[in-house]
Amino acid sequence: KEKGYDEDDSPCGVYPEDIFKFCVENKIKFRMSFYDDEWKESLKIAPIMVLLTGDEEEFGLRNSHWVVLIERNKDYFTYYNPWYKKENEEYIKHIWYKDFHRYYTGIACQIL
């Protein structure tokens, strides 16, 4: 067990504090808080990493899962899923904004 990961977890993973610490130590400008009406405009500047949880099929129940938001259109977010299932190669996905808010942990990071 390292950094709190369970034995059966993937050997790859990162905690939010590791990302924020790296950005601070390397003087990289970043943002980690977004109001609901800011997502669309913020995504025009740069993608946003968000931590989602609660949908076992997509994001896992025990642990959270990072995805990268790339666009907000009307009622949906478009995102990249770095752990997509190789058999269907669906790494670009869409999520309804109400589902996004259901699974969103409140943790995000946008490199500015």
Amino acid at 16: P
pLDDT at 25: 95
| pLDDT one-digit tens code per residue, 49-80 | 999 887 656 555 556 788 999 999 989 999 98
H-only helix segments in 13-105: 16-25, 39-45, 97-103
CA–CA dist 23, 21 (Å, integer): 5
Res 47 pLDDT > 50: yes
| pLDDT one-digit tens code per residue, 3-39 | 555 665 556 667 788 889 999 999 999 999 998 889 9
CB 102 within 8 A of CB 54: yes
Among 78, 59, 60, CA closest to 69: 78
β-strands 48-52, 30-31: how paired?
Answer: unpaired
What is residue 18's three-state secondary structure? helix
Domains of the chain from N-terminus onward: 16-111 (3.90.70.10)
- Which of these ranges, 45-49, 61-65, 81-85, has the smallest mean pLDDT? 61-65
Residue partners of 105: CB distance under 8 A and separation at least 6: 50, 51, 52, 53, 64
The model carries a pTM of 0.80
pLDDT at 101: 92
